């Protein structure tokens, strides 16, 4: 179980709400794994992650462009890496029916929360608040 905490809160409501959705999805996968159904819901998790990445990164990138965020290129590159990693994990899991990739997916998402959201997005949030974007 991954708890939402103030390190994840960047202060921009639209973005924080979307980040909360990712925590909910991570916990859904974790709970399914505990009850032995992680593998069964994995394809749904990938589908949710793909649509999450499109909607959420589009929202963040629109704000970066609107407020001329100096770190935009680097931040966009991190989003592109997320999409590539999810795509790779999805393809691997489709190739390998016996050994589900639930643990690598879980670990990747947990790391994304602590690395990207708590640091990179936090930097974007600070900048946007200074620009009165909230």
Measured CA angle at 19 (ends 18, 25), to 5 deg? 95
The residues, ordered by sequence, that sit 6+ positions from 115 with a Cβ below 8 Å of its Cβ are none
The residues, ordered by sequence, that sit 6+ positions from 31 with a Cβ below 8 Å of its Cβ are 1
CA separation for the pair 33, 78 (Å, rounded): 27
Of residues 38 and 121, the one with the C-beta less far from Fe ion: 121
Chain contacts with Fe ion (rule: CB under 5 A): 60, 121
Of residues 8 and 60, the one with the C-beta less far from Fe ion: 60
Closest residue by beta carbon to Fe ion: 121
Question: At 113, phi and psi to the nearest 5?
Answer: -60, -45
**Smallest separation (angstroms) from Fe ion to the CB of 31:** 25
**Smallest separation (angstroms) from Fe ion to the CB of 26:** 16
Of residues 46 and 69, the one with the C-beta less far from Fe ion: 69
Of residues 102 and 120, the one with the C-beta less far from Fe ion: 120
**Smallest separation (angstroms) from Fe ion to the CB of 78:** 6
User: Is the separation of the CB atoms in 32 and 38 below 8 Å?
Assistant: yes
**Smallest separation (angstroms) from Fe ion to the CB of 69:** 11
């Amino acid at each position: 179980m991954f708890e939402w905490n103030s390190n994840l809160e960047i202060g921009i409501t639209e973005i924080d709400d979307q980040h909360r959705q990712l925590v909910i999805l991570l916990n859904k996968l974790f709970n399914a794994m505990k009850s032995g159904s992680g593998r069964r819901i994995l394809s749904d998790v990938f589908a949710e992650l793909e649509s999450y990445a499109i909607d959420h990164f589009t929202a963040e990138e629109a704000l970066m462009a609107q407020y001329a965020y100096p770190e935009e290129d680097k931040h966009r590159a991190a989003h592109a890496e997320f999409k590539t990693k999810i795509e790779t994990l999805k393809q691997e899991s489709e190739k390998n029916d016996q050994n589900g990739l639930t643990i690598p997916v879980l670990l990747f998402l947990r790391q994304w929360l602590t690395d990207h959201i708590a640091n990179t997005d936090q930097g974007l949030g600070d900048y946007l608040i200074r620009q009165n974007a909230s």
